Structure 1
Amino acid sequence: MDRNFHGDIELLRSKKGPNCPIALFQEVVDLMLMEENSHIWAMIDVKLLNPSSIFADIEKILRSRNDDLKIFSTRFILGIWHPKYLPFAKTYLPDIPIAYIGVSLKIALEYFSCVDAYNVMYSSLAWNKEGRNFVEQAHQAGKPVFVWTVNTLENAKECHNLNVDALMTDKPGYFVNFFGTNNPGTFEMTSLSWWYPKWFVSLYRRMLSWIVHILGRYHLLKYGPLENVNFEM
């Protein structure tokens, strides 16, 4: 649902105190540039409904703070769901790294081989053995792997075992504290194979992975073709 910022969204406040308004992107940039926040980086999640002009808008805001966009290369990552955005990202923000965001490892490998990082749905990695191979191959290419959205301890432990680089979560403080005091080489995990035959677990995970891939591809196609990406504005 589209809503206007002025006279609508600008009036909203967070439920928990202090009751804060929704920050503008330029306000987030200013916050990131404070010296005490120099260790923080953020991902800009470009949604499927966003117009391609958003990349020019991001460039304009960043240049208003510093004309040398290279200083933002370690502070921001462009998160992209559809390959149609890749030409715009590379044209307007060539110094900002790009991450694929999505639910399908196959789509990530087929259409986003040129990106600098991957941000994939937790279940895409957890449901099949290809998840570990995907992380290993990405790391061999020097590309970090992030996972969303991880809110349970068991899922976070599995991500640790998979050697992912960051978790996208609604509970950052909780997991920072947990991993700050609990950081073994590998966590012991409860396996489905304790309750079901290994062949069933393998088939179950492969079927779920295939279904997620098909649905993910179908959803992306509603926003444009995946092949033959061009610079149409």
Structure 2
Amino acid sequence: MVDVPAAMDRHLEVLRCRSDGSLIIGASRLTGRYWTGSLWHFQDPSVAPHVEQCTAGVQTEAGIADLQLVNDNQLIVASDSGAVEMWQLSEEGESFQALWYSYAHDSTAHTISVAPDTNTAVSGGADATIKIWDLETKLAMKTLKAHTDTIWCICCNPMDKHVFLSCAQDGRALMWDTRKEKAACSLGKGVIGGVPTCITWSPNRQTDVTIGCETGEVIMLE
């Protein structure tokens, strides 16, 4: 196993399971004035987060805000530095390698989601912008602006690469379709009573949306 960090960072930000049942953890900690982070792989999730029993681990230059699996061996990370980063886990699962990164957001990149074609990703951040990424060219193809405050969550439709959801500190939840001239439409007008902090599609009906708010309220929309 390649050298791993000596300790697990205090804040466990993200957990993702691979198809073989192993676990990826994204973690962060505040060191002085700055956040640092780490990525971990546990072949046996039951031993997490014990560092001495991890399969792989690597320190990152900034805190991990979010991560998604592109496939079983590649993951895309949204970081506190505003960067979007692509990492590769070796076939043996024993080391991480940084493939590329891009500082597309002016502040923390809080959220990232991968479209079902796995060639497109969508990120959102504290700069209130949404970036649409071409993962083959490693470029942000488009910047979308409709929110006026920090974007907390983005969720791509699992069946349609052109459609995704976003929610933000401005109190709005939006549905986007990049094929349409007016890309965003508002969801839950008059229903959302607090700041929406997470949003997802129903696994059973891909037109149904569930929103979670900072008040603890859960809103289901059809």
TM-score norm. by structure 2 comes to 0.27
Relative to total residues, which structure has the larger strand share, 1 or 2? 2
Larger radius of gyration: 1
TM-score norm. by structure 1 comes to 0.26
Q: Bigger relative contact order, structure 1 or 2, given CA contacts below 8 A and separation 6+?
A: 1
Relative to total residues, which structure has the larger helix share, 1 or 2? 1
